[in-house]
Each structure stands twice: as structure tokens, then as C-alpha cells.
Structure 1
Amino acid sequence: MTGTEAPAPFRLAYVPGVTPGKWVRTWEERLPDVPIELLALENAEAERAVADEAAEAALLRLPIDRSGKHAIALYTETTVLVVPKDHEVAAVDEVSGEDLADYVVLHPLDDCLDWRTPPGRAAKERPATTAEAIELVAAGVGLLAVPQSVARLHHRKDLTYRTLLDAPQSGVALVWLEERSTDLMEEFIGIVRGRTANSSRGRQQPRQEPDRKKEREQPRGKKATPAARKAAPAARSGKPRRRGR
């Protein structure tokens, strides 16, 4: 690599609803010489990008296939039910899975929630994407359960959402290959974990050696004479010394 060649970027994939902005800003402050490249992908695509080494790391939703990967759980999101604003479910603050027995609940093919028993009645066909499912909710075809950040991402004036109880929650994690635990990867791990810039992990900062020459040039104070040491206690006490007769 020549001296003028720019360093390779640190490629970070992230999924809809996840906002890496604060971590990216910290990276840019600490490592201005290493660009960070963001890849907005769906969950399955982000997982493949890590496996194929198209990205150094990914912020995605669990569960995933963890074989050969490290994963650090970052936070867990509340699951909500997206409904039309004029729907009867919109009249309450929260709803349970049992309350949805008579309603059609959509489960898109890219559903990121790990359902054991999906609530409600299934639609005749599963929508391909969450975006398509949102359109179907607006058309009155069914309701949709998603992480709260995804509901906010697909905000529409004619839709709202309510907390869905007894539903699986979405966990967001930082994922990377075990074999790619580089200094830059450690640096990003430190950022998402809130480590300070002076942390011992990640890229090592050059150690500041004391300037011995400067220390030698500093003027040294004069040693106190015996008479001065004898007078010091009295001077500190503020009391005048008594002269001998």
C-alpha cells in the first residue's frame, strides 16, 4: 500500500429500525483516519453479509445462527401491534394474544419475531415483507406485530400501534465472525459498550514518556537552613517567637 492510498473502510451492516448514528459519530471522532461504511440491509441479508465477509460486523435482530460468530446483546425492544387508527383495538393501551383470536394477524416472510404460537388467525397468503404487510394493515386486511422501532420506521397518519403482551421480544445484537476479531473490531465493540477513548482495548495509543530533560531543567527549590527550619513552626502558628534573655 502506498503512502497516499486511503485505508479500507470498516463496513457495518444494520437492519431496519436500528439506529447506529451515535456509535458512528463516536467512531468518526476517535478514528478519523478510518472511514466507516454503513450497509442498510434486511435481517437475513445482514447475517449473510457477516458470514460472507461483505461486512466486518452487523447490528441485527436475534435469533440468528451463531455458529462461528460472536454476538453481544445490546438491548431488547417492546413488541407492538400495528392497527388502523379507527380500529377497535386502538381504543385500549395494550392487548394480549388471546384478545386477537378473532382477528387476522399478518406474519410477513421477513418476520423478525420468534413466534412459538402466532396470535390471531393467519391470512390466506403471507406478505413478502414488513413494508407490504404495513400496506395491508392500512387496507384493513389484518393487523401486524413488530418491534416498536419498526412500527415507528413505518409510521403513517392512518395507523397507530399498541403494546402487545405475551409476545416474543426483539433483541438487537452486534454480530461478527470469530475469526475477524481485529483491533478495529475491538475498537467498535468498545464504542457500543461505552468504553472511554483511553480504554486499554482496541488500537493501542502511543505511551507518553516523561521528558527527563525538561525535568532536569526545572529550577529546584533551595534547601532550608537549620535556622529556617527552626523558625518554621512558629511562623505557621502565627505566634511571635520569644527572644532569649
Structure 2
Amino acid sequence: MAELETRELEYFVAVAEELHFGHAAARLAIAQPALSKAIRRLESRLGVRLLERSSRHVALTPAGDALLHHGRHALNAVGAAAEKTRRAGDHQARLRLVIKPGGDANLLSGILAAYADRPDARQVDILFGGATDRADHVRDGRADVALLYAPFDDMTGLDHETLMVEGRVAILPPDHRLASRSEVTLADLAQETLPRWKGVRWTGAPEAGQGPEVTDAAEVLHMIRLGRTVALLPRSLAQPMQPDLVYRPVPDAPASELVLAWSQDDRRPLVASFVAAVAEASARSAGA
């Protein structure tokens, strides 16, 4: 069976993402002829064509699309292995928590306070991720733990502790046909167009139309104001409410969970202590 080398995967992924040999060569800081030769050699060893080439066009074949998908994961895994190994040997390592700006439902201060009370507490570095890439930060080792929203974020390979369960709200322009209602239903939203979050397939309203692709809440609100879409968001992510938009609860929408997530194979005391502190704080809050 033909084996793949990390460098070959890096070369191929660069070409597949750029779909241009010149741009990929510049990105990799190698000569274009050497890159072309490496890709041809890879195709020969695998026995499949990965790219369709012409003088003006480069496109992925089905085999190339598959290798791009799996190759990205493989490169992330290699990088994560190196990073996690380094951090496992660093006894003074800080804990890195990745969050979405405004995506902590005002729980972050309490979480940090609960952890700071533990005798083995370390410095916590707060990292900011995008709307859909925070789970990747944990999987590839850039962060130790993350605040995520289930079921929106991909939890593959992660364990988690639920911090809060909340309902969702529809965000509408003020002249929308549903704006006069005190609440709306998923059936109402089935006739609407909802945004497509980059990297997320699930909108929360299965029958709704697929609208413009967005990457953050600011883009969503802009599209709502333009009348291009409406949105269905966890209640905490709909804060602060904008005075020129209308917010209505959607009682029959599946609940959203704010969770603390970490890698399933991460057994470091650094992470275990933080998870335990957050779990204890969450239990006290629920009891109160």
C-alpha cells in the first residue's frame, strides 16, 4: 500500500486550496516545477488523478476532493500531536480557553473565579475564535478547552460539560410578517430563509430555505436589516438586542446548550482541574 508523507500532503493541500500552482508554490516557498513534479509523483504512487489541469484552470477530481478532506485532518492531527506533546512536558503551561466574542452568556467571570480558587490553578489565557472554528482550536492543540454551542458546533473527538440550556429566538426586521406575533414557531420559519453559517450545515429549522453564507453575528444582523434573511439563535447569542430589530421566542425550537469542551484523549491534570472547577461551579449555580 502506498504511504503518504506529511510534506506531500502539505504540498497537495496547498495546491487544492489555491487551485493554482503558482500561488501554491509561493505559499510553500518552493519552485513551481518542483511542486508540479511532486504532485505528479503523488498521483503516480496513489494510482489516481487528483487534479484536472489545463493552461488556465486547475480543478479537483473526486479523488482529489477526498484527499483534501482527509489530508487536512491528517495534517491537523500531526500538528496537534506535536503541540500536545510539547505542552504535556511543560509543567508551567498556562491553560488556554477559546471563546467566541460575546459567546460566554456572561458565565466567564464566574468560571474563572471558580478555577482561581483551586490550589493547582494556573494562569488562563483567553483566545478568541470565530463563529465555527473554536472546536478545531481544541482538536489541533491551539487551545486546551473551549466554550461551544451544541448542537451547532462539531463535537467530534471532544468531551464536554453542559453549563447552560437555553431556548432560541427569531430575529426579524420590524416590517416582517411575523414581527407582530408575541412568539413564532418552527412551522412559521419553514417559510423563511435562514443564513448558512460557514462550516455549519445545521440551521436549527430543517425545512427553512438556505440563505446567504455568514461568518459572524454582525453579518447576520446586516443581512436581516437588508431583508435577505431572518435568524434563529440561542437567546444568549442574541444579546445585546438591537433596537431596530425584533426578537421573538421560538418555544418549539430544540434547546441550545452552552458547553465547556476538551479533547477526549486529553488526560492532563491542567485540563482535568479546570473541568472539575467548572462542573462544581455549574452544579452550585443550578442548585441555587
Query: Does the pair score TM above 0.5?
Result: yes
Whole-Å Cα distance in 2 between the matches of residues 178 and 164 of structure 1? 33
Which of the pair has the greater relative contact order for Cα pairs under 8 Å at 6+ separation? 1
Name the counterpart of 1:9: 94
Whole-Å Cα distance in 2 between the matches of residues 77 and 47 of structure 1? 20
Whole-Å Cα distance in 1 between the matches of residues 216 and 167 of structure 2? 20
Q: Which moved more, 1:55-64 or 1:23-32?
A: 23-32
Name the counterpart of 2:127: 39
Alignment CA distance shift 1:130-1:56 (3 Å): same
User: What whole-Å deviation, never above 9, does each CA across 1:53-110 have from its counterpart, x for those lacking one?
Assistant: 1111111122455554322222222111001234342322210122235443333335
Whole-Å Cα distance in 1 between the matches of residues 162 and 262 of structure 2? 12
Q: CA deviation at 1:33?
A: 6.5
Name the counterpart of 2:4: none
Gaps of 5+ in 2: 1-90, 283-288
Gaps of 5+ in 1: 1-5, 197-245
Whole-Å Cα distance in 2 between the matches of residues 97 and 195 of structure 1? 34
Partner SS state of residue 280, structure 2: coil
Partner SS state of residue 133, structure 2: helix
Matches within 5 A, 1:42-191: 42-63=130-151, 65-109=154-198, 115=204, 117-119=206-208, 121-123=209-211, 125-153=212-240, 155-191=241-277
Partner SS state of residue 60, structure 1: strand
- Residue type of the alignment partner of 1:45: D
User: What whole-Å deviation, never above 9, does each CA across 1:149-188 have from its counterpart, x for those lacking one?
Assistant: 11115x3220131111332332222211233222222221
User: What whole-Å deviation, never above 9, does each CA across 1:9-64 have from its counterpart, x for those lacking one?
Assistant: 11111234224221112223435962111112135321111111111111112245
Whole-Å Cα distance in 2 between the matches of residues 62 and 8 of structure 1? 28
- Higher share in helix: 2
Q: Which moved more, 1:183-192 or 1:96-105?
A: 96-105
Identity of aligned residues (%): 24
Q: 8 Å contact 1:110–1:129 — kept in the other structure?
A: no
Whole-Å Cα distance in 2 between the matches of residues 186 and 88 of structure 1? 49
Partner SS state of residue 265, structure 2: helix
Higher gyration radius (CA):
1
